Structure 1
């Protein structure tokens, strides 16, 4: 956590500009950082306005980068991405826009690969238990249930 140091608005602004430059941030993260720096609400609002005006903060850009990254790197499904973006207080418009970043063919291909990989990992003789274990894994990662069960019925006979 940050020390007991006090910050002027300019100092705090520089700190969060660097914070935002390092990687895309959502409004909530920056607001929480400013609160941790013990900034008063009026100063927080002033700094937030500056960050948005200077394009350090852009909710839609953050949501798109987040969705692309979590899908490509962590192989999350849309439900998990939506849940995480809502947790970060991202608007519905930005969430919908972010989901457009995911190519539908890549999405289905990733589900297929993830399902095959998980089926190979689950050492369960009973076909129903095996399906349930694989389904639980995919559902936890945010894949839509209808797609999960379709894919399982296709791959496990």
Structure 2
């Protein structure tokens, strides 16, 4: 079933109202509904003009959710935004405005503390605990310097 421009607007507006969407998600949804590919830009322009879609707002919302909800580091969030087709400058801006440096380090420290405590039950060798905790933080997307400082601080706190 093909939709006209006027028929698709309420459907796509409702889709975008439910939660912030990126251009890629909107385009994919329109294609799934078999909307003509050559007319998608017109729909995107209408969504933007009527404030149903804003890539900067999407990026900011995405960054907040992944940082606070999933406890991801900046590297992992940045990569996810890239995979979603968000422009690099918009992603960087969102990361810089949505994540404060102190909050970022506190998050890394909390994750490191939890992981080190978990690992202490399985091993008493400092270098193994340190290596696995560093690897875990890096996997969460934290930069190597942040990982190293957080794990070192936790090991110092615990006098290991």
Q: What TM-score, normalized by structure 1, do the two folds share?
A: 0.91
SS in 1 for 2:24: helix
Match of 2:36 in 1: 40
Q: Is structure 2 residue 101 aligned with structure 1 residue 104?
A: yes
Unaligned 5+ runs, structure 1 = none
1:7 aligns with 2:3: yes
Which of 43, 57, 69 in structure 1 is aligned with 2:53? Answer: 57
The SS at the match of 1:124 is coil
Q: Distance in 1 between matches of 2:73 and 2:31?
A: 32
User: Displacement of 1:94 after TM fit?
Assistant: 1.0
Q: What CA distance in whole angstroms lies between the structure 2 residues aligned with 1:105 and 1:147?
A: 11
Counterpart CA distance in 2 for 1:154 and 1:50 is 51
User: Size of the alignment, in residue pairs?
Assistant: 153
Partner of 1:115: 112
Give distance in 1, aligned partners of 2:67 and 2:56.
16
TM-superposed CA distance for 1:150, in Å, is: 1.8
- Tell me if the contact between 2:109 and 2:151 (Cα under 8 Å) persists in the aligned partners: no
Cα distance in structure 2, aligned partners of 1:155 and 1:113:
9
CA distance in 1, matches of 2:105, 2:152: 15
Matches within 5 A, 1:20-31: 20-31=16-27
Q: CA deviation at 1:54?
A: 1.0
Deviation at 1:155, TM superposition (A): 2.1
Is 1:151 the counterpart of 2:150? The answer is yes
Cα RMSD after superposing both structures: 1.3
Which consecutive residues of structure 2, in runs of 5 or more, have no partner in the other structure?
none
Residue 107 (structure 1) shift: 0.9
Deviation at 1:90, TM superposition (A): 0.9
TM-score by length of 2: 0.90
